[in-house]
Homo-oligomer: A and B are copies of this chain.
Amino acid sequence: MPDPVKMEAAVHAYVAAFEAGSADQVAALYAQDATVEDPIGSPIHKGREAIRAFYAESMKTGAKLKLEGPVRVAGDYAVFPFSVNLNFDGGAKRIDVIDTFRFNDANEVIEMRAFWGPTNMHGF
């Protein structure tokens, strides 16, 4: 089983990686064969390199993350509420999101799913 302390630390490293604008730092949190589905229902990015490219693209918006409550740690999952804050098209935008991170025994994220939809987008 993954280590709850390292799982929670990975969430904070994820937020910090956005602060630094580093897709490499994000990708380093993922297992080599991880999957990312963001948002739910969109095509799944598979493998660390595809995941790195996905984050590099999404970071072009200057998106920063803000935790909006405690990280829930359950079994091999860390689940957390946050907001994505970005400037786009001349104004401040916010998206309310909940991510689920599932970890492998090496404390790497093996599966990420991002839950947000049209009702969670503000200022667009």
Mark contacts of A47-85 with chain B using CB atoms, 8 A cut-off: 1 yes-contact digit, 0 otherwise. Answer: 000000000000000000000111111110101110000
Contacts A79-B98, A81-B98, A98-B81; is A72 near B41 (CB within 8 Å)?
Answer: no
Copies of this protein in the complex: 2
The 8 Å CB contact of A68, one of B81, B100, B114, is B81
Q: Which residue of B lies closest to A68 (CB)?
A: B69
A36 shortest CB reach to chain B, Å: 14
Asked if A40 is at the interface of the complex by the 8 Å CB criterion, the answer is yes
A93 shortest CB reach to chain B, Å: 15
On A, residues with C-beta under 8 Å from B are 4, 8, 39-41, 68-75, 77, 79-81, 96-98, 100, 114-120
